[in-house]
Amino acid sequence: MSRIVDLEKGRLIIAAKRGFRNWVGHFGENFGVHTKLSDLSLNTLSYLAQAKDKGSFYLYDLIMNLESLGSGFDFNEISARDKMAVIDRYLFLLDRIRFECMKRLGWVTRYPGENLSIVELVTRFEEVAPGLQAKVPTLNPTHPGYEHFSSLHAFDQEAYIRRLIPAVLNKLKT
């Protein structure tokens, strides 16, 4: 009996394997098509959240492999249009990484996109990003700023959450 092969699924598995290749070597964890940010160790999340040179490379490398643009080493060689697409996905993914860090620290209870795999966040970016970017993470009622946060309008709530990012990054360094 012949098997039906989902070519798109197979392509995605191969792209994810290529994209996570450097992650496996550096972070020493297993990553795959279904890996969510919640599956990553706090050390890996912290490293990526800092958005320093190497951390950015790992995200660019993943995104470029998933989008069939080569590896992260080729970033400077791709077209301006492709660079912008990679950067858009990078910033979107970086937000989710930082929100996951806030969740691990107990600062937020949930955030938009936490139910999607890392691969889905990148490959379905055009479909999911607009809706997810329009939503604000839910600040934990136990957070000291919760009362003020809950009195703000949605736009100001997003700004409030973003102002927490430096404190999160400092907390993760310790």
- Roughly how many angstroms between the first and final C-alpha of the chain, as a whole number? 57
What is the predicted pLDDT for the residue at 137? 96
What is the predicted pLDDT for the residue at 111? 96
Q: How many helices (H) and strands (E) does the chain have?
A: 9, 2
Q: What is the mean pLDDT of residues 44-68?
A: 92
Q: What is the mean pLDDT of the chain?
A: 93
Per-residue pLDDT tens over the stretch 68-91:
999 999 999 999 999 999 999 999
Per-residue pLDDT tens over the stretch 116-143:
999 999 999 999 999 999 999 999 999 9
Helix (H) or strand (E) holding 110: strand 108-110
Q: What is the mean pLDDT of residues 23-39?
A: 95
